[in-house]
Amino acid sequence: MIELKSPAEIDKIAVTGRFVAEVLHEIGGRARPGVNLLDLEAHARTMLDTRGARSCYWDYSPSFGRGRFRNVICLSVNDAVLHGLPHDHVLADGDVLTMDLAVSIDGWVADAAG
């Protein structure tokens, strides 16, 4: 069954989507040679905490994984598969960074990658 959302519900989803876009834009703007992935993750965490948003990735534990996911954003460098774990890696000139963020605000979820 398809559940249609009301205009008010769509507005709430849009608020979450705009916040996801804001975080990805901010983190993307900070990603440059010499920056550590852990610093980018920490900044994303601060942005979520300040907004009262919850990462949909935090504490996620897939059956195929090696434990709980303890980051708020996925950061993958170069040929790493999307959904990479932020780790102690300093970006170098020419690195390609892929980011993925899923956030819940007041129960409304938005997810984007790029």
Closest alpha carbon to 101 in 61, 62, 53, 66: 53
CATH number at residue 27: 3.90.230.10
Number of domains in the chain: 1
Residue 91, domain extent: 8-109
Tens place of pLDDT for every residue, the chain, 114 residues? 999 999 999 999 999 999 999 999 999 999 999 999 999 999 999 999 999 999 999 988 888 877 888 999 999 999 987 778 899 999 999 999 999 999 999 999 999 998
Q: Is 26 inside a domain boundary?
A: yes
The predicted model scores a pTM of: 0.91
Residue 59 forms part of a structural domain? yes
54 lies in a domain? yes
The answer to whether position 1 is within a domain reads no
